[in-house]
């Protein structure tokens, strides 16, 4: 597992011929009725029942997409809201995805300094030597999203742990939400924006973690909803893998994300959540209908992105 994360991700992308990442953002009211009925029958309409439903849904999605994508991205918040049972479902989801050959990007957007950052890094990446500490040896994610607002003090502990464990970090640079510019686009005295300064940090921190693929285990989050920014930050961080949210339900298209890729056809993975995991018709599909619709949505996403990359002369295969 200590192999460079960027190398592992690039290899998985090439193997699946897919730049897609499926976001696991399970919202209980939107889950298929058959899943909720089974969970309620076993545990009642309780936090434990909700967590059981979420885990069952995550497994259904993972089974449907495992042969078509390189990675999944479970969002911690949708699990944490059900307390200890939800957190347990999150980690069981991580383990299940890895058992299916997928890389797992934990979307938790952690960020703090000192011993607190070390604690978060341990929580998501584990100890470099699990035999030296009290922890579950298989409780770790392949990568983690990290908030840079506290500066390098809040990033270095995650980067160091990623280097020791062969995991990856995706630092928020230009996010896909409409209000991101309220802070990220603000100019500094240098004339650069706050996001520009974060991009410089990403490039600097990632220099030591460049693998054989030519990419670093320190990546960046840049949203598909800002295509011009994607092109700009692709140039500013040539060695970083860009995690690109905002595809699908948020309005990002295949044409929008082409600028996130280098000329070798690599350097970015594109996340879609709602447009994939809720692709089934209505609220009460059969298990087969739900799985087929989810798989079909990923197939279409792959086809659209690969077609756009081919047209731009950036297809890697």
Q: What is the pLDDT of residue 84?
A: 97
Q: What is the pLDDT of residue 131?
A: 66
How far apart CA 37 and CA 54 sit, in angstroms, is 12
pLDDT tens figures, 238-274: 999 999 998 987 888 999 999 999 999 999 999 999 9
Both tokens of residue 117?
Answer: 């950052």
Alpha carbon separation from 18 to 119, 218, 307, 316 (Å, rounded): 33, 20, 11, 10
pLDDT tens figures, 153-212: 999 999 999 999 999 999 999 998 889 889 899 999 999 999 999 999 999 999 999 999
Q: What is the pLDDT of residue 2?
A: 75
List of residues 6+ apart from 198 with CB closer than 8 A:
148, 171, 172, 173, 184, 220
| Locus of tokens 């650069």 | 192
- CA nearest to 104, candidates 144, 71, 61, 79: 71
User: What DSSP line would sit under 44-61, residue for residue?
Assistant: -SSHHHHHHHHHHHHHHH
pLDDT tens figures, 58-80: 999 999 999 999 999 999 999 99
Asked if 109 is an active-site residue, the reply is: yes
pLDDT-above-70 percentage for the chain:
98
Both tokens of residue 253?
Answer: 């298209």
Q: What is the pLDDT of residue 213?
A: 97
How far apart CA 143 and CA 152 sit, in angstroms, is 18
Q: Say which of 36, 109, 174, 200 is annotated catalytic.
A: 109
The mean pLDDT value for 105-110 works out to 97
How far apart CA 261 and CA 269 sit, in angstroms, is 9
- CA nearest to 202, candidates 245, 253, 257, 145: 145
């Amino acid at each position: 597992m200590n192999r460079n994360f960027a190398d592992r991700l690039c290899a998985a992308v090439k193997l699946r011929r897919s730049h897609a990442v499926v976001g696991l953002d399970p919202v209980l009211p939107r889950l298929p009725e058959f899943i909720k009925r089974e969970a309620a029958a076993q545990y009642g309409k309780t936090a434990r029942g909700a967590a059981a439903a979420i885990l069952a849904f995550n497994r259904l999605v993972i089974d449907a997409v495992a042969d078509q994508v390189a990675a999944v991205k479970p969002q911690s918040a949708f699990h944490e809201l059900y307390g200890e049972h939800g957190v347990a479902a999150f980690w069981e989801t991580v383990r299940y995805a890895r058992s299916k050959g997928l890389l797992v990007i934990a979307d938790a957007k952690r960020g703090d300094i000192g011993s607190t950052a070390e604690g978060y890094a341990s929580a998501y990446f584990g100890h470099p030597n699990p035999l030296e500490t009290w922890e579950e040896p298989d409780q770790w994610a392949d990568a983690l999203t990290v908030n840079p607002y506290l500066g390098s003090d809040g990033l270095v502990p995650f980067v160091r742990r990623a280097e020791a464990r062969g995991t990856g970090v995706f630092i928020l640079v230009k996010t896909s939400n409409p209000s991101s510019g309220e802070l990220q686009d603000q100019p500094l005295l240098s004339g650069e924006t706050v996001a520009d300064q974060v991009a410089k940090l990403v490039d600097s921190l990632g220099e030591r973690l460049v693998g054989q693929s030519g990419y670093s285990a320190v990546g960046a989050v840049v949203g598909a909803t800002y295509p011009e920014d994607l092109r700009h930050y692709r140039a500013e961080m040539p060695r970083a893998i860009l995690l690109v949210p905002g595809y699908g339900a948020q309005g990002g298209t295949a044409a929008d994300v082409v600028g996130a890729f280098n000329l070798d056809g690599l350097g970015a993975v594109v996340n879609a959540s709602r447009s994939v995991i809720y692709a089934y018709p209505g609220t009460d599909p059969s298990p087969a209908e739900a799985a087929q619709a989810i798989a079909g949505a990923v197939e279409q996403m792959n086809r659209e992105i690969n077609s756009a990359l081919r047209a731009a002369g950036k297809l890697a295969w």
